[in-house]
Amino acid sequence: MAEIVKLQSVSHLRKTMDDYFVRLKDATETGSKKIAWCTSVGPAELLYSMGFEVYFPENHGAMLGAAKVADNYIPIAVAQGYSPDICSYLTSDVGAFLANETPLQKSGLASVPKPDVLVYNTNQCGEVQDWFEYYAKHFDVPIFGIITPLKINELTETIISGVAKQIEELVPELEKISGIKFDLDKFKETTRLSHDGCVLWRQVLETAQNLPAPINFFDSAIHMGPIVVMRGTKYAVDYYKILLAELEDRIKNNIAAVPTEQIRIYWDGMPLWYKLSSMAKLFSGLDTCVVASTYCNSWVFDDLDPENPFYSAGLAYCKLFIVRSDEEKQKVLEKLMDDFSIDGIIYHDSKTCARNSNNRFGLPVRLQESTNIPYLEINGDLNDSRCFSEEQSIIAIETFIDQLKSRKQ
C-alpha cells in the first residue's frame, strides 16, 4: 500500500501562507499599504523594500489548479477570446476573475487584492505581459515590464547590466505610486533576506540528496509557496529554518518521504496541480521517490548580493534556468543527475506552458546520451486537466519504473 509520510511543518506552512493573505487583506481594506502585483520571478525584493504588499497571480493560478477548479474557469476566459492553448494559469485566473470567484475568499478576501501597480519580468515567458496587461486595463493602473532576453547562452555583462538597469529605472515610478522614498539600505535588507531565504530553500531541497530522501517533489511543490511569494521578507527565512530542521531531523532518524524508496526520479516541467496527491501516491506505491525537479530546484537566487542589490538582481534573474539556452540547461541537469543520484527522468510536456516543457528541442535525447539515464515523456498540463490522459500516463509511468528497476537488477 502506498505510504506517504506527512511533514510536521505543514501546519507552519499553512500559518505562514495564511498570515501572508491576511496582510494582503489588511492592506486592501485599510489602504495602509499599496499593493503591487508581481510575476513569480519579478523584482519582489525591490517592491517589498518600497513598502508594497506583493501579490502573485501565478500563485493564485496554482491555487486554482490545486483546488481542482481551474477547469471551471478556463472556458470562461476562452469565451472571452483567450485561446485554450495559452498559459492555463492565465486562462484559469482570468476566468475566475470574470466569475468573481477566488480561493482567497477562504482567507477572508472578497476578491483578488486590487493592484496599485503591476510589475512583470519576461524572463520566465511572454504570457505574463499579456496577462498583466489585462488587469492593468481593467483596473486602470500603471504597469511596468522588465524585458529579459530569452534562451541566454553566455551570461554577458551587457545582458546582466541591461536587466539591472531596467530594475533600477523602476524606482522613480514606484516612488510615485507608493509615496515612499526609495531607501537603499532597505533594499539591501530585502535583498539579504531574499538571498538567505533562497539559501535555506536550496538546503531544504538538497536534503533530498540523502538516500533515502526525506522530502519529495510533491511536498516541495507545496512548500515552495513562501519562497515564491515572500522572497525578500523574514517570513520566508523563518519558515525555511523550521522546514530544514525537520528534514535534518528526518535524515538523522532515517525517515524517508517514501519508506520503500528504490528508484529516484527527476521531474522536469510543471506539476500537474490537479493530480498532485494522486501522483504522490502513485510513485510511492511504485517504491519511487521524485527527489528533485526543475520546477523547485531552479528556484534558487543565491547570487543576490546585499552589497550590490541592483546588479546582483540582474544577475540572479538572468541566470535562472528557464531563461537559459538548452546547452546551459543541459549542464545544470547533468549536475543535478549526479548530485541527487537520479535513476530516471520524467519530462512533463505541459500543453500550455512551452517555457517549462524542456523536452521540445531534443534535450531528452542529448541528456540521455551524455548521462545514460533513461527518460520518459508524458503529456499533460499544469492546470487544464482536459489535456491529461491519466490512464495512459499511469501505464507509461508504471512501465518506466519497471524498466528502471530491471536495469538495477
Annotate each residue in 336-375 with x if it binds another protein (CB under 8 A) or - if it does not, as one string. --------------------------------------x-
- Residue 72 binds which one of ligand SF4, another protein, none, with CB within 5 to 8 A depending on kind? none
**Closest CB 348 distance from another protein, rounded Å:** 13
- Residue 89 binds which one of another protein, ligand SF4, none, with CB within 5 to 8 A depending on kind? ligand SF4
402 belongs to the binding site for another protein (CB under 8 A): yes
Using the rule CB under 6 A, which residue among 64, 323, 342, 353 binds ligand SF4? Answer: 353
85 belongs to the binding site for another protein (CB under 8 A): no
- Residues numbered 380-399 forming contacts with another protein, rule: CB under 8 A: 387-389, 391-392, 395-396, 398-399
379 belongs to the binding site for another protein (CB under 8 A): yes
190 belongs to the binding site for ligand SF4 (CB under 6 A): no
Q: What is the largest CA-CA distance in the chain?
A: 66
125 belongs to the binding site for ligand SF4 (CB under 6 A): yes
Amino acid at residue number 6: K
- Residue 75 binds which one of another protein, ligand SF4, none, with CB within 5 to 8 A depending on kind? none
Query: What Å distances lie between residue 295 and 153, 322, 327, CA to CA?
Result: 20, 9, 18
**Closest CB 120 distance from ligand SF4, rounded Å:** 10
349-382 per-residue burial string, b: 16 or more CB within 10 A, e: under 16: bbbbbbbbbbbeeebbeebeeebebebbbbbbbb
| Whole-number Å distance between alpha carbons of 376 and 311 | 39
Q: Which CB atom, from 264 or from 351, has the smaller least distance to another protein?
A: 351
Q: Interface with ligand SF4 by CB under 6 A: which range of 121-129, 141-149, 241-249, 391-399?
A: 121-129
111 belongs to the binding site for another protein (CB under 8 A): no
Using the rule CB under 8 A, which residue among 30, 158, 253, 406 binds another protein? Answer: 406
Rg, Å, the chain Cα set: 21
* 225, 56 contact by CB (below 8 A): no
Q: Which CB atom, from 61 or from 380, has the smaller least distance to another protein?
A: 380
In the chain, the N- to C-terminal Cα span, in Å, equals: 23
**Closest CB 379 distance from ligand SF4, rounded Å:** 16
Query: What Å distances lie between residue 223 and 117, 131, 295, CA to CA?
Result: 27, 25, 12
Q: Helix (H, G, I), strand (E, B), or coil: what is residue 231?
A: coil
Amino acid at residue number 56: F
Q: Which CB atom, from 60 or from 192, has the smaller least distance to ligand SF4?
A: 60
Q: Which CB atom, from 284 or from 298, has the smaller least distance to another protein?
A: 284
DSSP assigned state of 107 = G
- Residues numbered 41-60 forming contacts with ligand SF4, rule: CB under 6 A: 58
| Whole-number Å distance between alpha carbons of 230 and 48 | 9
Residue 210, number of CB atoms within 10 A of its CB: 18
154 belongs to the binding site for another protein (CB under 8 A): no
The rounded Cα 388 to chain-centroid distance in angstroms is 20
**Closest CB 149 distance from ligand SF4, rounded Å:** 16
Query: What Å distances lie between residue 157 and 42, 164, 266, CA to CA?
Result: 20, 10, 32
| Whole-number Å distance between alpha carbons of 203 and 215 | 12
Q: Interface with ligand SF4 by CB under 6 A: which range of 160-168, 183-191, 260-268, 351-359?
A: 351-359
Q: What cell does 372 get?
A: 545514460
Query: Can you give 193-226 as a three-state secondary structure string?
Result: HHHHHHHHHHHHHHHHHCCCCCCCHHHHHHHCHH
Q: Interface with ligand SF4 by CB under 6 A: which range of 44-52, 119-127, 257-265, 297-305?
A: 119-127
87 belongs to the binding site for ligand SF4 (CB under 6 A): yes
| Whole-number Å distance between alpha carbons of 21 and 31 | 15
Q: Helix (H, G, I), strand (E, B), or coil: what is residue 288?
A: strand
Query: Which residues here bind another protein, judged by CB under 8 A?
Result: 374, 377, 379, 387-389, 391-392, 395-396, 398-400, 402-403, 406-407
Query: Which residues here bind ligand SF4, judged by CB under 6 A?
Result: 58, 87, 89, 124-125, 127-128, 353, 355-356, 382
